[in-house]
């Protein structure tokens, strides 16, 4: 087992670089937040089974029109349900059993009334016709909306990204992460000469009489609403295969040769992630990288790519170690979301750390597969420089509220801390794979994650999760010498009854020690002339260290 140690007096050199964050902190919540984020009877009374989205996109006018046929199972008798569509989009009609339904709009929520209450246990469907000019993103993917751009020949180059903002920005749906359709058909009609690429498999392209072609894609797996996407351009296509998984690539023609070279990173990535996380979870839908006019997004089976065919994050290394320049950040990070975020999904946006912490950690997993554990831990350690520790990683439940952007690299370093706590790499990899296998195609909460790791390790890891996720501060390891020059250690934490081991050594004798430390002072039997001789495993544990003078 490779271990890297840092002497007590070594400090971080900070630099400024921002990861792909979702949205800023909210101190107050609006009615729109409540309507979007909460689960009331109008939502819990039904379970979405499928979407059949059929729209026409006019690139010149930036206008969409069409419908979404929504099939659902009634879980509780109800006269009314809630769907969602942004206020700026027009509702043309909502049809059920050939009759128009009445509805009421409240912010971005649409409350639909049925003439007769829907009966529990039945399956029903309605068709929601709509049209309008969808929100255009100012800085995708950080703010949601459409991106209308052009390729070098002047042809339209269009995509959409709505994570955090909401899929109801551009199509009607039950816009809550707890309910994913089991399957989806996505049909997008665009002018002849352009192609639309969406999630899943291409079923057919249908020439229409109005100078448009309809591109029909089908998803055979459960899918997050925000993952459903469209990408429109004059694309060039090439394909490959990893084991039985099809790999399809859609890129601008001008970037065809660059893409063929850069996308060679996909196969070693798949080899690594198969080994560490398990088989690709969407075999029936295949894997695609699709070039977009924005940086990237984890759209299920149609991963958005806009990193300019270069390594790093827009050519930069967020870890400032050099390790991040050895691979393409967008390929690795967004593809890892296929396992964590797309397959294993958070039921509430407050738990988006489940998506981002595991995926950010997956970056280091790829590094370890390619370059070894030392490089992986060096990369994670470097990323600590962009952690703010300003507010909790978990957001407010039921309020459409994400926690701190630290969900990425504070979360990744928390997982590396858990790896050090468990202290058995073979078991760690088994846990990581078992976590995905246990929860794939499910929506879960923080409690589910903690319960899995507690049960699988037979350890009480809840205080560790709780400290890193629910408080801004990280654990502080306090050290003191008494009058007899004996060393004592304890944890200073917000969480009571906090227990976590720490590894250290006498830097002159190099004998590695491991002690369970609590919130109470503990005498450490180690020979030291002074505290500067103490080397603590700061690479393996994301902690602060403080010397207490008494």
Quick: pLDDT tens for 102-127.
999 999 999 999 999 999 999 999 99
- The three-state secondary structure class of 48 is strand
The average confidence (pLDDT) of the chain is 94
**Phi, psi values for residue 101, rounded to 5°:** -95, 155
Asked whether residue 2 carries a pLDDT value surpassing 80, the answer given is no
- Quote the CA–CA distance of 408 and 82 in Å, as a whole number: 32
Quick one: residue 141, left, alpha or beta (phi over 0 = left, psi -120 to 50 = alpha)? alpha
- Quote the CA–CA distance of 363 and 337 in Å, as a whole number: 11
Asked whether residue 19 carries a pLDDT value surpassing 80, the answer given is no
- Quote the CA–CA distance of 129 and 409 in Å, as a whole number: 42
Question: CA triplet 376, 378, 379: central angle to 5 degrees?
Answer: 65
Of 134, 141, 136, 85, the C-alpha closest to 298 is 141
Lowest mean pLDDT among 79-93, 249-263, 483-497: 483-497
**Pairing of the two strands 487-492 and 476-481:** antiparallel
**Pairing of the two strands 201-207 and 212-219:** antiparallel
**Residue 327 DSSP one-character state:** S
Domain spans in the chain, listed from the N-terminal domain onward: 476-547
Quick: pLDDT tens for 390-430.
999 999 999 999 999 999 999 999 999 999 999 999 999 99
Quick: pLDDT tens for 338-380.
999 999 999 999 999 999 999 999 999 999 999 999 999 999 9
Residue labelled with tokens 């009966």: 119
What band does 6 get if pLDDT is binned at 50, 70 and 90?
very low
Q: List residues bridging with 71 in a β-sheet.
A: 50, 125
Asked whether residue 10 carries a pLDDT value surpassing 80, the answer given is no
pLDDT, residue 385, reads 97
Cβ atoms of residues 349 and 414 within 8 Å:
no
**Torsion sign across C-alpha atoms 419, 420, 423, 424:** positive
CB within 8 A of 264, min separation 6: which ones?
none
- Rounded to two decimals, the pTM is 0.94
Cα dihedral 304→335→469→23 (10° resolution): 0
Share of residues in the chain with pLDDT > 70 (%): 94
pLDDT, residue 26, reads 58
What band does 520 get if pLDDT is binned at 50, 70 and 90?
very high
What's the Rg (C-alpha) of the chain? 25
- Quote the CA–CA distance of 88 and 82 in Å, as a whole number: 17
């Amino acid at each position: 087992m490779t271990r890297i140690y840092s002497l007590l007096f070594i400090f971080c050199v900070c630099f400024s670089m921002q990861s792909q964050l979702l949205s800023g902190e909210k101190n107050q919540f609006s009615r729109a937040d409540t309507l979007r984020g909460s689960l009331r009877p109008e939502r819990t009374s039904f379970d979405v089974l499928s979407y059949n989205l059929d729209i026409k996109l006019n690139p010149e006018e930036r206008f969409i029109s069409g419908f979404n046929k929504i099939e659902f199972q009634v879980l509780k008798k109800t006269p009314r349900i809630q769907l969602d569509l942004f206020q700026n989009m027009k509702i043309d009609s909502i049809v059920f059993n050939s009759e128009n339904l009445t509805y009421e709009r409240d912010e971005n929520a649409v409350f639909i009334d049925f003439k007769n209450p829907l009966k529990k246990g039945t399956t029903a469907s309605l068709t929601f016709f709509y049209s309008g000019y969808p929100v255009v993103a100012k800085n995708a993917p950080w703010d949601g909306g459409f991106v209308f751009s052009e390729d070098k020949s002047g042809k339209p180059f269009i995509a959409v990204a709505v994570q955090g903002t909401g899929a109801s920005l551009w199509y009607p749906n039950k816009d809550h992460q707890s309910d994913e359709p089991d399957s989806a058909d996505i049909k997008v009609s665009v002018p002849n000469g352009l192609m639309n690429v969406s999630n899943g498999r291409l079923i057919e392209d249908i020439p229409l009489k109005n100078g448009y072609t309809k591109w029909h894609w089908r998803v055979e797996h459960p899918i997050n609403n925000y993952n459903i996407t469209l990408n429109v351009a004059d694309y060039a296509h090439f394909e490959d295969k990893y084991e039985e998984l099809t790999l399809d690539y859609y890129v601008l023609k001008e970037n065809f040769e660059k893409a063929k070279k850069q996308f060679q990173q996909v196969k070693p990535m798949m080899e690594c992630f198969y080994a560490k996380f398990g088989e690709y979870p969407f075999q029936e839908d295949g894997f695609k990288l699709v070039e977009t006019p924005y940086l990237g997004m984890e759209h299920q089976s149609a991963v958005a790519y806009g990193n300019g065919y270069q390594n790093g994050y827009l050519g930069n290394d967020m870890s400032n170690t050099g390790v991040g320049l050895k691979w393409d950040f967008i390929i690795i990070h967004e593809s890892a979301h296929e396992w964590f975020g797309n397959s294993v999904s958070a039921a509430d946006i407050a738990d988006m750390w489940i998506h981002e912490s595991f995926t950010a950690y997956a970056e280091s997993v790829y590094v370890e597969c390619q370059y070894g554990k030392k490089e992986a831990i060096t990369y994670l350690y470097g990323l600590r420089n962009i952690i703010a520790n300003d507010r909790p990683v978990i957001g407010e439940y039921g309020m459409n509220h994400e926690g701190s952007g630290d969900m990425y690299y504070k979360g990744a370093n928390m997982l590396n801390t858990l790896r050090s706590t468990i202290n058995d790499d073979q078991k760690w990899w088994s846990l990581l794979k078992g976590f995905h296998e246990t929860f794939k195609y499910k929506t879960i909460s923080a409690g589910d994650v903690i319960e899995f790791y507690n049960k699988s390790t037979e350890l009480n890891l809840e205080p560790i999760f709780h400290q890193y996720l629910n408080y801004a501060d990280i654990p502080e390891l306090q050290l003191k010498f008494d009058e007899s020059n004996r060393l004592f250690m304890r944890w200073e934490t917000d969480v009571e009854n906090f227990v976590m081991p720490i590894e250290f050594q006498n830097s002159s004798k190099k004998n590695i020690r491991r002690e369970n430390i609590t919130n109470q002072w503990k005498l450490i039997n180690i020979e030291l002339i002074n505290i500067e001789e103490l080397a603590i495993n700061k690479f393996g544990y994301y902690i602060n260290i403080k010397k207490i003078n008494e």
